[in-house]
Amino acid sequence: MSCVDQAVDELQRLGTTLEQRLVWVGEDRSELDQTILDWVKGLSACADLLEATTRKCKHAACVDMAAAAIVRYLNLELPEELVWASIQSLKDAALDLCIDESNREHKVEIRRLLSENLEHLLEEGRACDGLEEVNAFALRLAEGLCGLGGDEGIPRFVREHWCEWKDLLAGGQLPLGGPIAALEPPLASRALRRFLQRAFLKPSASELPAHQRLSPGELAAKCETCEDFQCMLADGSSGAVLSDDCVVARSLAVNNAGLITQPPDGPLHHYYDAVIGRNERLLTERLYKQRRHSETGWRFCVLQRWNSYTPALGTSEGGGYFLYRVPEAHDEGTSTGETIDAGIVIDPGYGFLRNFFSQGFGVRDVSGVIVTHDHPDHLVDFEPLVNLLLEAQKNRVGGGQSAGSRKVDALLSGGAFERLNASIETTRIVFRDTFVRTPGKDGFKDPVAFHDVDGKPIDAALNVEAMLAIHKDASELPQRHGYDSIGVLIEVSVPGETARIAIPSDTQWSNEVAAQYLKLGSYADVICLHLGAMAKKSKFGVFEYYSTEKTGRDVVHKGWHLYLPGILWFIEAAADVVRTSGDGRAVLVVLSEFGEEMSHGLRADLANRLNRHMQESAGAGSPLVVVAPGDVGLVIDPIARKIKCSCCGDYYSWEMPFRFEVFGDCEQIFYVCAECDSILADDEKRGIFRQRQAPLMRPVTA
Amino acid sequence: MATARVRSPRFRALEYFCLLYDVAVDQEDYNGPWCSITGEALRDLDLDDLVKIDSTLCDDTSVAPWEREHFSVDPSLHVPDGLSGIRIAFHEPHGDTERRLLKSVVLEPLQQDPRIEGCGEDPVVDGLWTKLLVAKVERALLQKRSSTAAAAALDQVGLALVREAPVPERRDTTALAGQLRILRWLFLNEASACYHGHHSIALADDCLNHIKDEVGEGVSPHELVALYNKAQGSLHDRDHIDALGRFRQVSEYLNGDSDSDQYFCQLALNPYAWPDCRRLFDTYLRVPSVVQAADTLLNLQRSTDSERELGKLKGLQLTQYQQARVDVMQARIANDLGGARLEKPTPEWRDSACGRKRGIALQSLGVEAERHGLQVTKLAMRISAEPTTTGGESCPA
């Protein structure tokens, strides 16, 4: 049985199931609504099938079979006993639902796709010169799409167009005024195609917002420089009286100079179209497109600059992390790279999405989300991300077949789940599975199964385990169950090689916490340590107050972050385990989540001092621990144990010296390899930094 | 205060009957032979001729058939003596049989003074029992009707129950006062089951508070019913986290640990206990709690956790209906998780006895429709992934 046969069979079953369900519905309005909604959802499946068969399987029989099944699906048989006082038929009800304001976009996309596929059908018709058959088929399909069998019971939304369509199509007439047969086949086909496209896309008057129902004449009557609705931007020196629209357009042109590639020199609505169209294209790219990467394997990308728990200084770039995998190219000779097939977002805090997009990633790169605890700098962008994922799912019909049906997995701490469950619950089409881990509760150590972007399990390549973190978050859970935050230990693999990335997240120092990531023989290769601040705030100054044993103990046992002492002890513990294991694999410690008081180069300076300390401890040998300050743009290859150079773009072992250059008002850190550092002059480096500075506020075209 | 005589055998039998009736309603058994509800006035919701409960179920001979046929549970479920011979009859309707407002139709039987004949208890207690049973029948009928109007009418039944609930003197230690207390719990629980959302939670809370004040915690299994109703209220209120916690609380109380021993010990030890009824409560509360907890987890998109929750049913005997619900949820989990799970055939719901019940049929058909839609999309993607084929080539298989 071919795929088309199977799909047609499934579609028929879907229709039958819905019909059977209608029999049970009775007078329960909510069940009736749900059934109609399911029927509408089935339209997406119809569109998928039609697109697949017309574009990929050009056998007339297959296309015909699929189209017939779709027409059958659209003409749902209603049970005789189904009576609903205000609704004449289910089809009317469903179509009413389709043209409901909230569903309009979805419906337009379906119609657009279906009309596009009609084009393909018509091209097929042109090839075999069978215009009459094509015309008849188009008519049949159009009837099916509109759920029509005759004049009776015409749904409202097509009533305004139907008479026009029907007469023209049935009579073989085109809107050009002549019969189809009188035209040359290519011309006839094109004309018919354009007509059908217009017919399907053109919203009826009832679908338009009230102000759009005005005629062009009514809209453009005021401007002295306008001709009809085509209001031209007049030259100010001409002394012409400008309409309000013209004034606005001129103001936009002046104030937004540089943002629009071509200043508006045409009608105002063209200017609007240009701006809106450009932004919509950008949104579409971010929602549906995936960038190709030439580097394969796992990458760990830091998208965080400050901890920004309270984004009061205005420079906050919280963010989080993104772990992703690019598979090996299928055909190395001709391939331009592969798209990300698994991407895990970790702690999407303030500005995460902005940083994420600035690094060229898109919504479709995401296959999983991890939130370690309920603090805004770790989850505030979770809901916007979910909303984008939802948007990408909802309009996937418009995204073409490649959009498919993609879902994400989520791993959340108990507190984070309490905070976010409402948004998870209401977006069922976004989430495949949600895992909740609370320290001390059953199942805390159970494995978490993530999937790739196509929904295939990747437990062989990615193993994520929740770990204890001692950190009080905003949820009420700590009072009931102890500390609620979690850290994560992520093990990534490619054939023959494995690396571990530890993200203890926000946590107090404790031997127990550190020991989870520093097991002899299986210690983490990369550890992201969240500093929080150098020390807990004190009126006696940061360092002096904590210099005594008693106050020093306070830092460790009363604070909720590692602070400097915790960082030092963690690094020492890591050095110990590397030394004991004797394998000489230095651990990379990424210092992250700096308090915003650590500006003016303190972050890079701290990392440099720690590296000097580790080098001195190692004596003539290689340091056992390497420290790098985390910032937006730090990309790590955990398996090859390399860092990407911000200048040359190549990867170098993290055991080689890197220079951490701070550049620009926002103090972005650039990671310069020894080679670039020695070759490039300061001006050249700054030029590169300027070019590569994360364009945080500007949208980036893919 | 409380002694064994608080609950006479007849009184306990009626309590038991209420429990069985609830199980039946939950499983959409609205008109089983063990509890014949006569009359076919459902269409007009004319309850006058409808509420005749002929509870011959507790004749010794009639117990086994309904157990096997409708519950499919171990026949060792203990049925207390004392229900045989009870006959519940209601007054004939007054006057016109024309259609009346739903509200009056629902409330009228409760406002009349129907009596259970042959109950042999105090007339006040008899009257309260009758009202409670009428309310239960009404709830069954309205749930069966399951229209939007019927759901609204259920609230009216709840309100009437709250109004009719007895209020015994706090210091009264007589057997009658003891019975009235238990009836109050039953009224509040029934009202909670009728209402939706926060009203339901409030009434269940009220019941829990009364039980706690009057006999203490961990004494009467009626508090488990209240807790279950409270969880249901939270679920209707879309407070899934609370609902999950409470459903789990109920199922954990009943998981056979010593915590629940008090509920099922001998009457000599605890006059409010339900001796030898652990199995009944498994069917009545434990299995539904686990199933509802799993359902709640599914609503929270926690499919794997939901599957694990359903694993707690291992070793428990499920009724045919409960098994059908579990199957529906397994199918929902498969739809959510996708992959190879989608390849498993869906159960043939329509051919089973449960497939002829509206609630489970709607659930299963919904899951089935979702499955078919997913399969169409999946196959369309597979067709798209194939190289384009034209005239002479073979079709993608």
- Going residue by residue through chain B, which has 397 residues, state the pLDDT in tens, using 9 for 90 and above: 444 467 777 777 778 777 777 877 888 876 554 443 332 322 332 333 333 333 332 232 222 223 333 333 333 333 333 333 333 333 333 333 333 334 444 445 555 554 454 445 677 887 787 778 777 877 877 787 776 667 777 887 888 888 889 988 877 888 888 889 999 999 999 999 998 878 999 999 999 999 998 888 888 999 999 999 999 999 988 889 999 999 999 998 888 665 667 888 888 888 888 877 777 788 888 999 999 999 999 999 999 999 999 999 998 888 888 888 999 999 999 988 887 777 777 666 666 656 678 888 888 899 999 999 888 888 888 887 776 665 445 554 4
Q: Is B78 left (phi over 0), alpha (psi -120 to 50) or beta?
A: beta
Restricting to B residues 110-149, those with a Cβ less than 8 Å away from any Cβ of A are 145-149
Are the CB atoms for A452 and B322 separated by under 8 Å?
no
Of A490, A506, A514, A526, the closest CA to residue A347 belongs to: A506
Say how far apart CA A147 and CA B364 lie, in whole Å. Answer: 27
From chain B residues 352-371, the ones with a CB under 8 A of any chain A CB are 358, 361-362, 365-366, 368-370
User: How many residues in total does chain B contain?
Assistant: 397
Whether the complex's predicted ipTM surpasses the cut of 0.90: no
**What is the distance in angstroms between the Cα of B244 and the nearest Cα belonging to chain A?**
12
Helix, coil or strand: residue A644: strand
Of A144-153, A299-308, A642-651, the one with minimum mean pLDDT is A144-153
- Residue that the structure tokens 């879309």 belong to: B238
Highest mean pLDDT among A83-87, A123-127, A307-311, B260-264: B260-264
Tokens encoding A16: 């039958």
Asked if B301 lies within 8 A of A428 by C-beta distance, the reply is: yes
- pLDDT, tens digit, 9 for 90 and up, residues A611-641: 999 999 888 888 999 999 999 989 999 999 9
Q: Note which residues in 286-325 of chain B have CB less than 8 A from chain A.
A: 299-305, 308
pLDDT at A482 over 50: yes
Tell me the chain A residues in contact with residue B304 when contact means C-beta distances shorter than 8 Å: 433, 435, 449
Burial degree of A296 (CB within 10 A; 0-12, 13-18, 19+)? middle
Cα A393 from Cα A453, distance rounded (Å):
13
High-pLDDT (> 90) share of chain A, %: 28
Contact A7 B383 (CB under 8 A): yes
Q: What is the phi/psi pair of residue A520, to 5°?
A: -60, 130
Cα atoms found within 13 Å of the Cα of residue A33, Cβ hemisphere only: 7
Percentage above 70 pLDDT, chain A? 60
Edge-first strand listing for the sheet containing A462-468 = A462-468, A486-494, A497-505, A526-530, A587-592, A625-629
CA A119/CA A136 separation, integer angstroms? 14
Q: Does B42 touch chain A (CB under 8 A)?
A: no
Per-residue confidence (pLDDT) for residue A590, from 0 to 100: 97
Contact: A56, B301; criterion CB under 8 Å: no
Side-chain half-sphere exposure of A513, counting CA atoms within 13 A: 30
pLDDT at position A250 is 55
Q: Identify whether the C-beta of residue A74 lies closer than 8 Å to the C-beta of residue A110.
A: no
Q: Of all helices (H) and strands (E), which one includes residue B366?
A: helix B358-385
Here the tokens at position B71 are 């519950």
Q: Please tell me the total number of residues recorded for chain A in this structure.
A: 702
Question: In chain B, which residues have their Cβ closer than 8 Å to the Cβ of A457?
Answer: 339
pLDDT at A572 over 50: yes
Averaged pLDDT, A278-303: 86
Q: What is the pLDDT of residue A25?
A: 79
* B238 → chain A, closest CA residue: A422
**A73's tokens:** 């699906």
pLDDT of the residue at A101: 45
Q: Are A503 and A589 in contact (CB under 8 A)?
A: no
pLDDT at A62: 76
**Which residues in B lie closer than 8 A to residue A52 (C-beta atoms)?**
380-381, 383-384
The pTM score is: 0.73
Report the b/e string of A624-651 with b at 16+ CB within 10 A: bbbbbbbbbbbbbbbbbbbbbbbbeeeb
Is the pLDDT assigned to residue A4 strictly greater than 70?
A: yes
Separation CA A410–CA A457 (nearest Å) = 14
d(CA A344, CA A337): 20
Is residue B316 within 8 Å of residue B282, measured between CB atoms? Answer: yes
Kindly determine whether residue A45 and residue B305, on different chains, have CB atoms separated by under 8 Å: no
pLDDT attached to residue B206? 93
Q: Tokens 């370690």 appear where? A: A372
Distance from A623 to chain B by nearest Cα, in Å? 43
